[in-house]
Amino acid sequence: MDPVPFMLDWMVSKQVSDADRLLSSEDKEILRQQNQELEAQVAKVKGQMQEAVKMAADPAHHNAQEEEDEEDDDNDEPPEGFGQIQTGKARTSVSAEAYGEWNAKKAFVPPVISKSEEQKDRLKTCILKSFLFSSLESNDINICLGAMKEVNASAETRVINQGDDGDFLFVIESGKLDCLIKLPDGSEKPVKTCGAGDVFGELALLYNCPRAASVVAKETAVLWQLDRDTFNHIVREAAQKKRTRYDSFLSKVPLLASMDAYERANLADALRVEIFTDGQTVVSQGEVGTKFYIIEEGNCLANKNGVQVMSYNPGDYFGELALIKNQPRAASVVSKGTSHLLSVDSEAFKRLFAVNDLLERSSNMYN
C-alpha cells in the first residue's frame, strides 16, 4: 500500500483543523455564507450548461427563451421617472457585472480598513441613522463598518459627477452637500441638500446607471465611502426591498401624488418608522413641533381641548402646520390601537415638500 496518499490526506486534514481553530465565530459564519453562495452558483452554472445543450438541440426553444428573457429584462430597469434626471447612457460595465464568465461570481471577501475606536464609534452612530443600513442584521452592519473608508471633503469639493460610472456610495457624518442636476444649457440646478445621516451615490449602485447628479460640498464635510462589491453583497437586496415597499406606499398617499419616483426615493431616505401602542401620545397640544407624520398602519385620533376633532387612517398625515408656521401643536394626537407611523424631521420636511401646496391642502382639510 502506497503511504503517500494517506500522508497527504492527513496533512490536509490537519491543516484545515489548525486553521479552523484560528477562526472566530464571525469568520466561520462569513465562510459558511460564502460556501452557500458558491454552491448555489455551481448549481446555476450546471443548469445553464444543460439549458445550452437544449437550445443547441432545439432552436424553437432557444427563440422562445430569448423572448422570455427580454420580458424579464424589462423588470430590471429603474422605477418610472428615474430616467428624467439621467443624461448619460447605462453603465458600460453592466454586461460584465451581469454576465461574466458563465455568470460566475468570485467568493466575496469584504475589505477591512483599519480604524481607531473613536472612528468606529462615530461611524456606527452615523450609519444607524441611515435608511440603507437600518434594516441590516448586526453581522452585516459589522461587515460594512469594516469596509467603509473615511473621506474628508473641503468646501466646493466635487465628490461625484453626473454621468460618471458609480463605484462607491457615501454616508455623511457631518457637513452639507448640494445635489446638482445638469440642465440642457449646461448650467446646474440644485435639487437637494444632503446633511448628516444622508446617503448619496446609491442610485448608480442600485440600478447600474451612471451618476444621476453631481454632488458638491457646501462646507467642510466628513464622509464614509462604501465600495460597490460590499454594497452589492451586503446592502443592496435589503435596500431595494425597503425602497420598493415605501415607494409603493408613498405613491398612494394623496399628498404625494405629484412626486415622481426620484422625489419619493429622496423622501423614503428621510423616513423613520415609529411604533405607538394603544393610547400612547404621538404629539401634545401646545408643544413645539419637530416632526411630520404619515400613518402607515393603524389609526390615530386628534383631540383639541379634550374634544375629539379628527381621526386618521393609513395614508393620512398630520403635524405639518406646526412645522410650516413655526407654531405650537394645535391638537394632541394619540394612537388608537397599535400604529406604525412614518416620521420626517423638520429640516428634511422643509427641504422635500412644497410648502405652499401643503398650506392650501391643510387649510381645506382643517376648515
Sequence-ordered list of residues with C-beta below 8 angstroms from that of 350, at least 6 positions apart, any chain: 323
In our burial notation (b when 16+ CB lie closer than 10 A, e otherwise), range 272-296 reads eeeebeeeeebbebeeebebbbbbb
In our burial notation (b when 16+ CB lie closer than 10 A, e otherwise), range 65-89 reads eeeeeeeeeeeeebbeebeebbeee
Q: How far apart are CA 177 and CA 195, in angstroms?
A: 7
Angle formed at CA 205 by CA 157 and CA 191, multiple of 5 degrees: 50
CA distances (Å), origin 229, targets 166, 199, 324: 12, 17, 42
Burial class (CB in 10 A: 0-12, 13-18, 19+), 114: exposed
Q: Which of 170, 178, 171, 179 is nearest to 213 (CA)?
A: 179
Q: Kindly report the length of the chain.
A: 367
Q: How far apart are CA 35 and CA 33, in angstroms?
A: 5
Q: Is 320 annotated as a binding residue?
A: yes
Q: Is 202 annotated as a binding residue?
A: yes
Helix (H), strand (E) at residue 171: strand 168-174
List 332's β-bridge partners, or say none: 303
Q: Is 245 annotated as a binding residue?
A: no
Per the listing, cell 430590471 goes with: 76
Alpha helices, H only, the chain: 3-22, 25-57, 59-74, 94-99, 117-127, 138-147, 202-207, 228-230, 236-250, 261-270, 320-325, 346-352, 355-366
DSSP label at residue 231: I
Positions at the binding site for 3',5'-cyclic AMP: 202, 211, 320, 329
Positions at the binding site: 202, 211, 320, 329
